[in-house]
Amino acid sequence: MMRLAITMSQNIDKVKVQIPGTMYYLQLTADRGRWLLALLLRNDIENEVIVPVFSKNGILKVATELLNNTRIQLDKYPLMNVCDQLFNEAERSLPVSQAPPIEEVTSTELEDIKQKLDLLETTVNNINEELKESITNIVERLDALENERVARLEAEISSTKEKGQEEIISNLASRVDKIEESFIQTKGDERVPSILTAIEALESKITQLEGKTIASGESGDVAGNTLNDLQDELGKINETINSILQRLAKLEGGATAKSTSSPIVEGGDSLVPPTTEDTERPSEG
């Protein structure tokens, strides 16, 4: 008669069956998710191995391997019956991990799932469209800011250049006026009118550039070509002004030399040489 013993603890559960006609037991242990089959002599473990598959055949195969290393003659003992009983008791008494049953989904649940998926897809599409619109608005605003910045830079460059050119032209005109007065009072110089003509041409050119700048600002044209053209024109004007400055410096040097060599007229505000009438007029008295 086979003896059956069941031991249960918090993490380890055991089932033990005695092999008839012997002092040996087969013990099946559920140890934290794995199955162990041990051969016991009375209460001492002789050997223990892992059962890879929890089934009657799996237990029988492992039990045969265990008993092959003992003096027990397998053909004399009902080993299969022992393993079957061990499996049945373990399945009945011990927690056996099995795959959860597959739950069938009804058509109503499927329809509900489909509606939720459709709603989710619609929501994602709406969010996508909103993001596209937001990105488009951001790009347009950035373009507008860039155009405004370019236009402001053009205006600042033009204003700075024009202001500087106006100051230079005004200074040139003042210096030429002084030189012209000096030379008219002496012998005169044909180079002075040519310089005045050049300055007038420069003033006309700057006026034209001002008109181009105002026209481009009103039309909203902020293309790079307009800015480059203005810079080229201003560069040419600077070259011309530098040339005029050199000529003025020479004329001023000549005027200073002549003024130094001329006699000083008492009571006069400037250096004026005597005229022919003054030299020929007889002295009074």
**So what's the pLDDT on residue 267?**
41
Q: Which residue has the higher pLDDT, 233 or 9?
A: 233
**pLDDT tens figures, 169-210:** 777 777 777 766 666 565 545 555 566 666 777 777 777 766
Whole-angstrom distance, CA of residue 144 vs CA of residue 164: 30
Q: Give residue 142's identity as a one-letter amino acid code.
A: L
> CATH 1.20.58 occupies which residues in the chain?
150-261
Q: What is the pTM of this model?
A: 0.31
**pLDDT tens figures, 73-88:** 666 667 788 888 888 8
Pick the range with the lowest mean pLDDT from 69-78, 189-198, 250-259, 270-279: 270-279
**So what's the pLDDT on residue 185?**
60
Q: Which fold, 150-261?
A: Methane Monooxygenase Hydroxylase; Chain G, domain 1 (1.20.58)
Pick the range with the lowest mean pLDDT from 83-92, 155-164, 248-257: 248-257
Whole-angstrom distance, CA of residue 25 vs CA of residue 66: 11
Task: Order across the sheet with 44-51: list the strands.
Answer: 4-8, 12-18, 24-31, 34-41, 44-51
Contact 211, 195 (CB under 8 A): no
Whole-angstrom distance, CA of residue 55 vs CA of residue 63: 12
pLDDT at 55 over 70: yes
**So what's the pLDDT on residue 110?**
85
In degrees and rounded to multiples of 5, residue 176 shows phi and psi of: -65, -35
Whole-angstrom distance, CA of residue 130 vs CA of residue 133: 5
**So what's the pLDDT on residue 88?**
87
